[in-house]
Amino acid sequence: LENEFENAIQIVKLLQQNGHKAYVVGGAVRDQILGREIGDIDITTSAIPTDVQSIFDKVIPVGIEHGTVIVRYHGESFEVTTFRIEGDYSDFRHPDKVHFVDRIEEDLSRRDFTINAIAMNVDGKIIDPFFGVKDINNRLIRTVGKAEQRFYEDPLRILRALRFSSQLGFSVEKNTKISLLANIEWIKKLAIERVAVEIEKLFAGTNIKKAMPLLLDSRIDKFLPIFKDKSDLWKCFCTLSTPVPTLTEFITLGHLYDRSVPIETWVKQWKLSKQIKKDSFKLVELFDDFEANHLNKWLVYRLPTYLIQSFIHIVSVLLNEQIKEETIREMQGTLPIQERKELAMNGQDILYLNPNKPKGPWINDCILQLEKNVVTGDVENNKKDIREWVKQWK
Ligand code: ATP
Ligand code: MG
């Protein structure tokens, strides 16, 4: 096994040395077999959380009652989950009860798809009671057990099937697909936070275009906030041929496709973070500036590095214009200042120049105007020139 698994293997070995069974499981095993870049490595073990806590120094109890802890090991994080099976899901969020078990096969049986129900021991040997390797080779998403039952237990699996088809470019196996299409409405029982996580990954999938026909067929939109009342909006999303990597970009596109839905509504109905809201507002503002004025100094000045890719993608999707990241970076490099605090004068200084004016919002207006003038090169960034400029500013 490659180095990427080095720390995970150490953890598995330590668990074994303490008398427990342990395996690498889930997405990492699947992606390793596929030759895909692996993400987080999940470990499954017969050890219960208190055992795990006694073996490792840094253990974060994220879901003790479900048997899940995070082990920090040599700077890396690993989800370590006790072998378990699940009771009913009466709230459609968490199983009412989980039962710890001691056979890996039982643990694998509660997992969603055969491709995710493969365990790997430290020698790279594979435990695959549901023939997940075969499904990986045939590029098929198939539930472990009867699709109907597995989707009913946790309708998130319906969304996950679509998500994996977009991420991996796999097809959904016939019976799994029949059940997915017949029972799509079960997703309305899910907490929106869980839905949002899967929708983000779905639209971020590199095979989104390939997954689109099934996505359209599923009529999932009828059960998603906002889309359920805006069928044209969903159609716009279904014409996308490139991945949308983040929810920020997703809702920004949503708003730009149909401005009658405010960003606030997206954020509220999808229960998204303040950061996403802030970034989305910024992207809309910059998009509008681009549409009116093309790339300009003031625009690139306001575009933070972490939003460059999103901005470029949105412009490409909506205006079919391809901006190069390098072009933006170069323009940013030639700006007189990179941020407001580099201005040669601050609010205090400006207040000082206007001793007769009381403090008020005018100071902020003035600084914003000044900032813009300095960025565009209309005013030089030194005290003397700024003083002159402030004098004539109203
Ligand atoms: P990714 O590469 O996106 O992390 P993953 O397959 O690792 O994909 P996770 O959401 O990290 O997906 O879940 C880890 C594993 O836990 C899955 O591979 C699967 O075995 C199991 N699992 C996750 N969610 C469910 C679910 N809703 N029902 C059953 N099993 C699940
Ligand atoms: Mg994972």
CATH number at residue 383: 1.10.246
Question: What is the full DSSP assignment across 182-237?
Answer: HTGGGGGGS-HHHHHHHHHHHHH-TTHHHHHHHHHHHTGGGGSTTGGG-HHHHHHH
Same domain, 161 and 262: no
What are 76-129's pLDDT values in tens digits? 999 999 999 987 666 656 666 789 998 999 999 999 999 999 999 998 899 999
Ligand 1 atom having least distance to the Cα of 30: 6
Which residue's CA is the closest to the ligand 1 atom numbered 24?
112
Establish whether residue 135 lines the binding site of ligand 1, counting it when its CB lies within 6 angstroms of any ligand atom.
no
Establish whether residue 79 lines the binding site of ligand 1, counting it when its CB lies within 6 angstroms of any ligand atom.
no
What are 260-273's pLDDT values in tens digits? 999 999 999 999 99
Q: What is the separation of C-alpha 318 from the centre of its chain, rounded to a whole number of angstroms?
A: 22
Establish whether residue 111 lines the binding site of ligand 1, counting it when its CB lies within 6 angstroms of any ligand atom.
yes
Which residue's CA is the closest to the ligand 1 atom numbered 18?
26
Residue 239 lies in a domain: no
Same domain, 285 and 328: yes
Establish whether residue 40 lines the binding site of ligand 1, counting it when its CB lies within 6 angstroms of any ligand atom.
yes
How many domains, the chain? 4
Of 335, 355, 377, the last residue of a domain is 335
Same domain, 322 and 373: no
Residue 313 lies in a domain: yes
Q: Which residues contact 347 (CB under 8 A, 6 or more apart)?
A: 363, 364, 367
Mean pLDDT of the chain: 95
Residue 358 lies in a domain: yes
Q: How far is the CA of 254 from the centre of ligand 1 (A)?
A: 28
Residue 231 lies in a domain: no
Q: Which residues pair with 72 in a beta bridge?
A: 58, 77
Domain holding 148, by residue range, is 144-225
Q: How far is the CA of 30 from the centre of ligand 2 (A)?
A: 10
- At residue 86, the pLDDT reads 81
Q: Where residue 72 falls among pLDDT bands split at 50, 70, 90?
A: very high
Same domain, 18 and 133: yes
Ligand 1 atom having least distance to the Cα of 153: 28
Q: Where residue 359 falls among pLDDT bands split at 50, 70, 90?
A: confident
Q: How far is the CA of 224 from the centre of ligand 1 (A)?
A: 22
Q: Indicate the burial class of 70 (C-beta count within 10 angstroms; 0-12, 13-18, 19 or more).
A: middle
Q: How far is the CA of 233 from the centre of ligand 2 (A)?
A: 31
Establish whether residue 124 lines the binding site of ligand 1, counting it when its CB lies within 6 angstroms of any ligand atom.
no
Same domain, 180 and 302: no
Same domain, 379 and 331: no
Ligand 1 atom having least distance to the Cα of 39: 2
Residue 374 lies in a domain: yes
**Contact (CB, 8 A) for 142 and 176:** yes
Of 114, 138, 162, the last residue of a domain is 138
Backbone angles phi, psi at 113, to 5 degrees: -125, 155
E strand or H helix that includes residue 363: helix 362-376
CATH code (residue 29): 3.30.460.10
Same domain, 132 and 36: yes
Same domain, 20 and 91: yes
Backbone angles phi, psi at 173, to 5 degrees: -55, 150
Ligand nearest to the CA of 38: 1
What are 153-171's pLDDT values in tens digits? 999 999 999 999 999 999 9
Same domain, 26 and 49: yes
Same domain, 154 and 29: no
Same domain, 149 and 126: no
Same domain, 31 and 48: yes
Residue 31 lies in a domain: yes
Which residue's CA is the closest to the ligand 1 atom numbered 16?
26
Residue 235 lies in a domain: no
Residue 91 lies in a domain: yes
Establish whether residue 116 lines the binding site of ligand 1, counting it when its CB lies within 6 angstroms of any ligand atom.
yes
What are 174-201's pLDDT values in tens digits? 999 999 999 999 999 999 999 999 999 9
Query: In 10 A of CB 68, how many CB atoms?
Result: 19
What are 134-148's pLDDT values in tens digits? 999 999 999 999 999
